[in-house]
Each structure stands twice: as structure tokens, then as C-alpha cells.
């Protein structure tokens, strides 16, 4: 089923996906074209199958599917439906997408997906919050939000519950956020309800109550790039001190599993590190930038995407940094269903989560690298009609469609859209070509690093 708006799950009708930019392999529409030695069809035209309708129905069925749990191997997120949306957006035929999902379900990370976990607990408005971040009762959480959607409608449900859930956006390495945002991108109601349930299921707080304004500072940040350069300069100046602060947070007795802190994250590695760093808190993480308080959200998106692109290119192909790209796309889709003031708050949640990730993994780039990348890409635009640009996108898209690592088609899907939307800035095309590798996950959950 789809959202109650003119937003069905179809191959993306977007300037970035014009014929010149779609990889020249099979498309759903090929079946409707004449072929040499093909017999004329004598069937009533009204009875003939419509290839695009068949394609969209199959994609819809894949997004409807509830054969697998939202997580597997204890803490890894089920990405199958994200891959469906990305591959569909890049022009893959439905049969190829279905084959990809089948293989993913059987082999992902060497474990494969797991069957859904049933729950007979009835959640209500009075008790659903008791399960925030507990990584249990996903089925009950789904039924709760499904009931809310039936009673209130989808848009009203989003307006009521998303502001309460987004402060936990960093949970499951941002995958609850990704699931919800990508569902809204696809316009799929059932997956959207899953996203709400997964945000609650995986909730890890960014502690929005700790936010404070920097607007009275003598040197305010006018853009996200200003903030990124300032924070990078702080790490350049005090990297040893800040690194020691992170180590102290990660080893704090008060933030240990033994002390009762996030026991469900005990063997998740990076996820637990991020939760501990955000719980400890730091002024650089929790200060609210001037640009966020003073700018219209519509003005912020392009600036924020650009800053995150430079961050990704500072360590291109990094598995965790790639998630900051795909989750930002998700946050924007979510924010567009919220009032203006809540849109700014959504951006703030993302910004805090992003810094929590960078600090916990000590992945803050040097200021020099950010400045050099900005100098290279600030004014760099592609000529969209240029042969080399077209061929580059075709090669990148074809690579993405052949990838077993599903994060890479997701990266290309997002960046092709941004490239078309923001004036063909070459930074998006260049970043799209830097694929990530599948991380190695220990087969024994106790030994797993979660990285």
C-alpha cells in the first residue's frame, strides 16, 4: 500500500534519471518495444500487461514484504528495502531487484536475514515509551503505530510522534532514521510504519536538552561548512586532549554495561561507543550553530549536503561516513512532513548525531583537508550535456547496479539526485564514484566489534 498522496512507488521521475544518465542495460520499458521477428500481438490491447505497471507492482510487493525481522545477528539492520528503493531509482528491472533481495536475505554479511519476531504485548499511548531503545517488541511497536495511522492518518501521526522519536535518530547507526526517511521517499505506508517502529525500537538519545546557543559568540558560524571547519580546527589544536576525552567517555564506569548503561548495545562496538560519547556530552557536540537558528531550513539543506560531501571526500569510501550521507537524505524526507520549527529541530538532531559519530570514532578530519576540498569543489560545476560527464555517470550507475554491497547503490541514488537538484555540482558526481567495502563482522556476537 502507498501513502495517501500522489506518490506511488515508481521508477524515479527525476532530472537526474533522464535516459542519457541511466545505465544502458535492460529497463522495464524494453519489454514494450518491438523486436525483430516478433509476431504481431492479436490480444485485446485492454487485456495486455503493462510492463511499467507490472514493474511497479513487483517493487510494491517487495516493500510490502514482512518475511524478515528488522535486525539480524543481534544488532545489524535489515537493509533490503533500502536497496529496493535505490536499485529501482537507478533503473534496475524488477526481476534484477528481486534477485538481489533474495541473495541479500540469504547471504548478507555471511549470516542472512532472520524471520520476524512475534510479540503478543499490546502497546498503548500509556506504555509504548517503556520500550524506547530496548530493541524488543518490534512487532508490537509496529501494531501500535499502525493503529495510530488508522485512527489519525499518516501525516498527523508523523507530526505527533516524529518530534518525540527524532532525538533518538542515532540509534542502530542511524538506520531507524534511514528506514523511515527512505520509506517516505518511496511513498510507502507500510514501510513508513516500520520506520516509526524501528526509530522507537533502536532509540539512542542525542540529549537535545543539552543544546545551547552560540549565537552570542563573537565569531559565529554562518554555514554548516563554517561549523565543520571550526570543529576540525579544535581537533587540530587539541587532538590529544579530545582523543583522551573520548577514551575517558568510552571507559567511564558510569557508562559501563555493568552499571546498567545500554546493556542491549553490549556487543555492538561502534553503536555503544556513540551512545557513550553522546551521554557524556561535549560543548562542541551540543552547541547550536548560528546558521541553524537564523536560517530557513530550505536554505540549510544545500549547505548541509555540501558540507557532508566534503566530510565524505575527506576519507572517501569510509563505511560510517557513507551513513551520514544516506541518513541526511532520510532526515530531509522526514522533515518535509513536519512544521517549519520542527524541521529546524530535525536538522539539529542530525547535526548532533553526526558529531557524536565523528567524535566517538575519532573521525573528525583536519581543517586543512576540508579547506583543500572546498577550494577544489566550491565553484566546480559539470556541463550536464558533456560526453565525459554522461559517460562518468553511466559507468558509476552501472557499477552500482552490479554491486553486492547495497550501500553503494544507495550512495549513487542519493548523489545523482543531489547533482541534478543543485546545479550539477561536480562534488556530488565525484563522491558518488567512491564506493565502500562490506565490513567483516565476527560470526560470534560476543567477539564482534560492530564496526
Q: How far apart are the first and last CA of the chain?
A: 35
Could you give the dihedral angle defined by the CA atoms of residues 157, 162, 165 and 166, in that order, rounded to the nearest 10 degrees? 170
Residue 147 counted as domain residue: no
Q: Is 12 left (phi over 0), alpha (psi -120 to 50) or beta?
A: beta
Residue 261 counted as domain residue: yes
Residue 173 counted as domain residue: no
DSSP single-letter state for residue 76: E
Residue pair 363/315 in contact (Cβ under 8 Å)? The answer is yes
Residue 150 counted as domain residue: no
Residue 45 is predicted with a pLDDT of: 41
Residue 51 is predicted with a pLDDT of: 81
Question: Average of pLDDT values for 302-306?
Answer: 98
> Model-level pTM?
0.88
Residue 231 counted as domain residue: yes
Least confident of 39-43, 214-218, 303-307, 362-366: 39-43
Residue 309 counted as domain residue: yes
| CA of residue 189 relative to chain centroid, distance | 18
Residue 124 counted as domain residue: no
Residue 380 counted as domain residue: no
Residue pair 413/86 in contact (Cβ under 8 Å)? The answer is yes
pLDDT digits (tens, 9 = 90+) for 109-136: 999 999 999 998 999 999 999 999 999 9
Cell numbers representing residue 188 in the block: 510507502
Residue 218 is predicted with a pLDDT of: 47
Residue 294 is predicted with a pLDDT of: 87
pLDDT confidence bin for 217, thresholds 50/70/90: low
Which residue range forms the structural domain that includes residue 308? 208-368
pLDDT digits (tens, 9 = 90+) for 438-449: 998 878 654 433
Structural domain count, the chain: 1
Amino acid at each position: 500500500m502507498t501513502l495517501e498522496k500522489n506518490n506511488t512507488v515508481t521508477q524515479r521521475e527525476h532530472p537526474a534519471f533522464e535516459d542519457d544518465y541511466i545505465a544502458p542495460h535492460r529497463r522495464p520499458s524494453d519489454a514494450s518495444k518491438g523486436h525483430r521477428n516478433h509476431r504481431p500481438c492479436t490480444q485485446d490491447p485492454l487485456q495486455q500487461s503493462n510492463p511499467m505497471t507490472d514493474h511497479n507492482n513487483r517493487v510494491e510487493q517487495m516493500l510490502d514484504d514482512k518475511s524478515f525481522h528488522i535486525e539480524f545477528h543481534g544488532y545489524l539492520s535489515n537493509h533490503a528495502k533500502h536497496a529496493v528503493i535505490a536499485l529501482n531509482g537507478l533503473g534496475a528491472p524488477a526481476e534484477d531487484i528481486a534477485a538481489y533481495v533474495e541473495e541479500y536475505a540469504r547471504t548478507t554479511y555471511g549470516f542472512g536475514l532472520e524471520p520476524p519476531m512475534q510479540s503478543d504485548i499490546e502497546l498503548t499511548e500509556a506504555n509504548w515509551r517503556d520500550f524506547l531503545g530496548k530493541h524488543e517488541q518490534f512487532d508490537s511497536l509496529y501494531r501500535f503505530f499502525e493503529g495510530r495511522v488508522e485512527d489519525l492518518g499518516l501525516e498527523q501521526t508523523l507530526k505527533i510522534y516524529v518530534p518525540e522519536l527524532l532525538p533518538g535518530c542515532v540509534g542502530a547507526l542511524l538506520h531507524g532514521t534511514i528506514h523511515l526517511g527512505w520509506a517516505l521517499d518511496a511513498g510507502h505506508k507500510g514501510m513508513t510504519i516500520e520506520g516509526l517502529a524501528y526509530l522507537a525500537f533502536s532509540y539512542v538519545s542525542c540529549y537535545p536538552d543539552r543544546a545551547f546557543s552560540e549565537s552570542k559568540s563573537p565569531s559565529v558560524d554562518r554555514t554548516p561548512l563554517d561549523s565543520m571547519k571550526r570543529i576540525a580546527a579544535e581537533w587540530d589544536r587539541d587532538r590529544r586532549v579530545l582523543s583522551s576525552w573520548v577514551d575517558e567517555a568510552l571507559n567511564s564506569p558510569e557508562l559501563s554495561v555493568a552499571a546498567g548503561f545500554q546493556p542491549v548495545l553490549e556487543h555492538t562496538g561502534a553503536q555503544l561507543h556513540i551512545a557513550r560519547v553522546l551521554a557524556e556530552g561535549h560543548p562542541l557536540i551540543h552547541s547550536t550553530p548560528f546558521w541553524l537558528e537564523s536560517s530557513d531550513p530550505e536554505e540549510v539543506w544545500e549547505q548541509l549536503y555540501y558540507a557532508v560531501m566534503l566530510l565524505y571526500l575527506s576519507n572517501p569510501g569510509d563505511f560510517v561516513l557513507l551513513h551520514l550521507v544516506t541518513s541526511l537524505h532520510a532526515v530531509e524526507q522526514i522533515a518535509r512532513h513536519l512544521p517549519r520549527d520542527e524541521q529546524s529541530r530535525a536538522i539539529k538532531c542530525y547535526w548532533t548525531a553526526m558529531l557524536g559519530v565523528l567524535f566517538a570514532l575519532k573521525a573528525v578530519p583536519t581543517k586543512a583537508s576540508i579547506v583543500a576540498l572546498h577550494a577544489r569543489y566550491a565553484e566546480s560545476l559539470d556541463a550536464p550535456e558533456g560526453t565525459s560527464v554522461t559517460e562518468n555517470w553511466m559507468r558509476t550507475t552501472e557499477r552500482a547496479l552490479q554491486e553486492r554491497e547495497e550501500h553503494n547503490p544507495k550512495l549513487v541514488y542519493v548523489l545523482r539526485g543531489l547533482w541534478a537538484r543543485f546545479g550539477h555540482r561536480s562534488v556530488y558526481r565525484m563522491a558518488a564514484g567512491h564506493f565502500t567495502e562490506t565490513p567483516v563482522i565476527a560470526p560470534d556476537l560476543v567477539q564482534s566489534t560492530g564496526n
